[in-house]
């Protein structure tokens, strides 16, 4: 009987080993680096363009399917403004016109709602893994960045209430933020890694760094 553990990874293109640009540059993506160095069998559920609700959904399903096989789950969260309309607001998605405005007249707080929606997904995934006794490691770095943060911080035309300082204060008071381990600095923008020239995805050095960070989390648990 094999004693090799299973590594389940969820993420967006930053975690998708078969991305065309990675193959073009001969890049060995971080999930494969982690699986190889920890001698684990890799189940990669990442998809280019994946939202955090998508990542939550596929990891929830995987936890249920593999929970009796002692898996390790790693999530590399995506940019928070990727939102699945039908997951969050089915009653506000017009079936015919596809018009989507879940926040009504509160669009000045768009970064806040995007962040909170993602933090909710993150907390639920982490909690679900814990409830099933599954080792779970995650990170906001890389693709994560609060949408329009710099515009809200710098634009003189925005109201005081909609300033980035006001939005950060609102995030700090949020239950999900207070019950996760991320700092406001991490929330504002994930760590910047070296990139493939003229592309934006992590290069090999960046994937090696991401892999080391996940391996360190695993080894120090």
Side-chain-facing half-sphere of 183: CA atoms under 13 Å:
5
Give the range among 31-45, 94-108, 113-127 with minimum mean pLDDT.
94-108
The DSSP result for 53-85, as a single string, is HHHHHHHHHHHHHHGGG--EEEEE---TT---H
Instruction: Please tell me the distance from the alpha carbon of residue 182 to that of residue 184, in angstroms, as a whole number.
Output: 7
8: which strand partners? 43, 73
Instruction: Please tell me the distance from the alpha carbon of residue 3 to that of residue 25, in angstroms, as a whole number.
Output: 34
Instruction: Please tell me the distance from the alpha carbon of residue 93 to that of residue 138, in angstroms, as a whole number.
Output: 31
Rg (CA), the chain: 18
Give the tens place of pLDDT for each residue, 153-202.
665 555 555 678 888 899 999 999 999 999 999 998 877 789 999 998 99
- Domain annotation covers residue 212: yes
Burial of 103 (0-12, 13-18, 19+ CB in 10 A): middle
Mean pLDDT of the chain: 86
Give the tens place of pLDDT for each residue, 125-135.
999 999 999 99
**Range of 213's domain?**
6-219
pLDDT over 80 (residue 139): yes
Supply the pLDDT for residue 109: 73
Q: Report how many domains make up the chain.
A: 1
pLDDT over 80 (residue 105): no
- Domain annotation covers residue 1: no
Instruction: Please tell me the distance from the alpha carbon of residue 108 to that of residue 25, in angstroms, as a whole number.
Output: 40
Instruction: Please tell me the distance from the alpha carbon of residue 144 to that of residue 6, in angstroms, as a whole number.
Output: 26
- Domain annotation covers residue 63: yes
CATH code for the domain in which residue 130 is found: 3.40.50
pLDDT over 90 (residue 13): yes
- Domain annotation covers residue 206: yes
- Domain annotation covers residue 153: yes
- Domain annotation covers residue 55: yes
Instruction: Please tell me the distance from the alpha carbon of residue 131 to that of residue 70, in angstroms, as a whole number.
Output: 13
CB 108 within 8 A of CB 161: yes
Give the tens place of pLDDT for each residue, 74-86.
999 999 988 665 4
- Domain annotation covers residue 96: yes
């Amino acid at each position: 009987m094999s004693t090799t553990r299973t590594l389940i990874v969820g993420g967006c293109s930053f975690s998708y080993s078969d991305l065309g640009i990675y193959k073009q540059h001969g890049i060995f993506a971080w999930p494969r680096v982690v699986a190889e160095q920890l001698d684990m069998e890799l189940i990669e559920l990442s998809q280019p363009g994946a939202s955090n609700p998508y990542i939550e959904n596929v990891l929830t399903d995987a936890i249920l399917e593999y929970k009796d096989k002692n898996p390790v789950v790693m999530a590399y969260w995506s940019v928070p403004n990727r939102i699945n309309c039908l997951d969050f607001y089915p009653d506000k998605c017009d079936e015919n016109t596809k018009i989507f405005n879940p926040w009504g007249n509160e669009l000045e707080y768009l970064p806040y709602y995007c962040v909170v929606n993602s933090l909710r997904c993150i907390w639920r995934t982490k909690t679900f893994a814990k409830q099933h006794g599954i080792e779970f490691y995650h990170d906001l770095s890389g693709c994560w960045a609060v949408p329009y943060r710099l515009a809200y911080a710098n634009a003189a035309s925005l109201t005081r209430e909609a300033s980035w300082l006001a939005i950060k204060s609102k995030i700090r008071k949020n239950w999900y933020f207070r019950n996760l381990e991320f700092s406001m600095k991490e929330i504002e923008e994930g760590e910047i890694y070296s990139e493939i020239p003229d592309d934006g995805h992590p290069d090999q050095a960046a994937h090696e760094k991401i892999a080391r960070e996940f391996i360190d989390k695993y080894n120090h648990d």
